[in-house]
Amino acid sequence: MRVLLTGAAGFIGSHIHRAAQAAGHDVIAVDVMLAAAHGSAAVPPPGIARVDVRDPDALDTVLRGVDVVCHQAAVVGAGVSAQDAPAYASHNDLGTAVLLAAMDRARCRRLVLASSMVVYGEGRYVDSAGVAADPAPRMRTDLDNGRFDHRGPDGRPLTWAAIDEDAPLRPRSLYAAAKVAQEHYAIAWAAATGGTVTALRYHNVYGPDMPRDTPYSGVAAIFRSALEANEAPRVFEDGAQARDFVHVRDIAAANVVALEHPLGGFTPLNIASGAPITIGEVATTLATAYGGKQPVVTGDYRPGDVRHIVASPERARRALGFVAAITPGVGLAEFATAPLRSAAGNGAPTWR
């Protein structure tokens, strides 16, 4: 099968590139090589062409004969300030719209889209009676006093429950807003063209070749950077925030399965390990495996952070037969000493 892979030089894209080639697919790999991600003097790795997904002429060339597009190209991270918004809108949203239009011209009707858990915003909760609860935003006064859990009408903490793909989309960051927009463009494209879209909503991705500590890094890389600097990882809140950490090799495997098994219409799928873990446990696992200082629970917080978000991976299992192979305990212990990418930039890219 002939596959166009965008963002092929990135952290996740590079793993997908290798996995798709190993599965016998003919991969047309492209990446714009943004200076903010790869450095100002970076050149594409062998086998990857420099292509901006906002360039319709370039896309018309690389889409010739392509059976399916695997769209990973994106500016990532939550966004550090409101000034980052144009970069997210330009590279993620406009880029996706231009790509979809080019796919229509090329009569390519299949898309595998990199989405994210961030489209949900807050996770799913139940109250002390086990009834679904829609939590109000956490109050700054509570956070200042170390009360981090959402609370129900009875004053008791709400408990997290696994979120499924039917949950409402409530973006709370620039990146989340961009990912929701990408999904919406893809839904409209599928309706207009009869195409199919499998939107893989990645949960917390980590693994070898992850970028080092930058303002846009994931928390696992931030903890790794602290350990390498002989510092204790600093854990926000009380460390009890629940997440699902999924290894990048499992992400790559999920993409290959999605490429090989088209689903009808627009199908969103959580891609997760299915083994929830707290942020405190992540820090402790990394510190122990690395042989570094044990984490410090700071009680600090970021007002925009969600308390808990844990995935239900059941629909991906039913639809694709995908089950993650690497548990967080094993994967994080490996990640403690895995090679990382040097941080090339410390801000969002330009958007023009």
Residues 106 and 62: their CA atoms lie apart, in Å, by 10
Give the H or E element holding residue 352: none
Residues 215 and 130: their CA atoms lie apart, in Å, by 37
Residues 30 and 23: their CA atoms lie apart, in Å, by 19
Nearest to 296 by CA among 348, 232, 249: 232
In this predicted model, which residue has the larger pLDDT, 41 or 10? 10
Which pLDDT score is estimated for 75? 85
pTM metric for this prediction: 0.95
Which pLDDT score is estimated for 160? 97
Which pLDDT score is estimated for 79? 57
Q: What is the mean pLDDT of the chain?
A: 93
In this predicted model, which residue has the larger pLDDT, 18 or 137? 18
Contacts of 57 (CB under 8 A, 6+ apart): none
Is the predicted pLDDT of residue 346 greater than 60, yes or no? no
3-state SS class at 279: helix
3-state SS class at 2: strand
Query: What residues are paired with 327 via a beta bridge?
Result: none
Q: Is 105 exposed, middle or buried (0-12, 13-18, 19+ CB in 10 A)?
A: exposed
Share of the chain above pLDDT 70, in %: 93
Nearest to 112 by CA among 221, 6, 236: 6
Residues 230 and 294: their CA atoms lie apart, in Å, by 10
> Are 283 and 336 a contacting pair, CB within 8 Å?
no
> Are 350 and 91 a contacting pair, CB within 8 Å?
no
Is the predicted pLDDT of residue 102 greater than 80, yes or no? yes
Residues 3 and 55: their CA atoms lie apart, in Å, by 18
pLDDT tens-digit map of 6-38 = 999 999 999 999 999 999 999 999 999 987 777
Contacts of 139 (CB under 8 A, 6+ apart): none
3-state SS class at 45: coil
Which pLDDT score is estimated for 87? 86
What is the sign, positive or negative, of the torsion defined by CA atoms of 78, 79, 81, 87?
negative
- Pairing assessment for the beta strands 2-6 and 26-31 based on DSSP bridges: parallel
Specify the CATH number for 2-123+163-342; select among 3.40.50.300, 3.40.309.10, 3.40.50.720, 3.30.70.890.
3.40.50.720
Is the predicted pLDDT of residue 341 greater than 90, yes or no? no
Q: Is 37 exposed, middle or buried (0-12, 13-18, 19+ CB in 10 A)?
A: buried
Residues 274 and 329: their CA atoms lie apart, in Å, by 12
Distances (CA, A) of 341 to 8, 10, 78, 210, 338: 15, 10, 19, 6, 10
Query: What is the identity of the amino acid at 253?
Result: A
pLDDT tens-digit map of 173-223 = 888 999 999 999 999 999 999 999 999 999 999 999 998 866 556 899 999
Share of the chain above pLDDT 90, in %: 83
In this predicted model, which residue has the larger pLDDT, 85 or 37? 85
The domain limits of the chain are 2-123+163-342
Which of the four pLDDT bands, split at 50, 70 and 90, describes residue 304?
confident
Give the mean model confidence (pLDDT) for residues 299-317.
Answer: 93
Give the mean model confidence (pLDDT) for residues 133-160.
Answer: 93
Which pLDDT score is estimated for 265? 95
* Alpha-helical regions (H) of 1-64: 11-22, 35-38, 56-62
Which of the four pLDDT bands, split at 50, 70 and 90, describes residue 76?
confident
